[in-house]
Amino acid sequence: MWIARLRRQPIVVQAIWAGLAIAFVAALVEARWSLAFVSVATFALSLVPVLAQRRLGIRLPARFFGWIVVFVFATIFLGEAFDFYGRFWWWDVVLHGGSALAFGLIGFLFVFMLFEGDRYAAPAGAMAFMSFCFALTIGALWEIFEFAMDQIFGLNMQKTGLIDTMWDLIVDTVGAAVGATAGYLFLQGRHLGGLTLALKEFIAANRWLYRRRRFFRKRR
pLDDT tens-place string over residues 152-182 = 878 677 777 788 889 989 999 999 999 999 9
Q: 132, 135, 133, 131: which is closest to 113 by C-alpha? A: 131
> Quick one: 101 and 191 in the same domain?
yes
What are the tens digits of pLDDT across the range 107-149?
A: 999 999 988 777 777 899 999 999 999 999 999 998 898 888 8
> Quick one: 1 and 109 in the same domain?
no
Count of domains for the chain: 2
> Quick one: 137 and 214 in the same domain?
yes
Helix (H, G, I), strand (E, B) or coil at 192: strand
Residue numbers of the domain that contains 31: 1-85
Residue 127 near residue 183 (C-beta atoms within 8 A): yes
> Quick one: 132 and 206 in the same domain?
yes
Domain boundary among 18, 52, 85: 85
Q: Is 83 left (phi over 0), alpha (psi -120 to 50) or beta?
A: left
> Quick one: 181 and 79 in the same domain?
no
Domain boundary among 55, 85, 115: 85
pTM, rounded to two decimals: 0.81
Rounded CA gap, 181 and 158, in Å? 29
Rounded CA gap, 94 and 41, in Å? 22
HSE at residue 192, side-chain half, CA atoms within 13 A, is: 18
Residue 219 near residue 85 (C-beta atoms within 8 A): no
Domain boundary among 85, 118, 141: 85
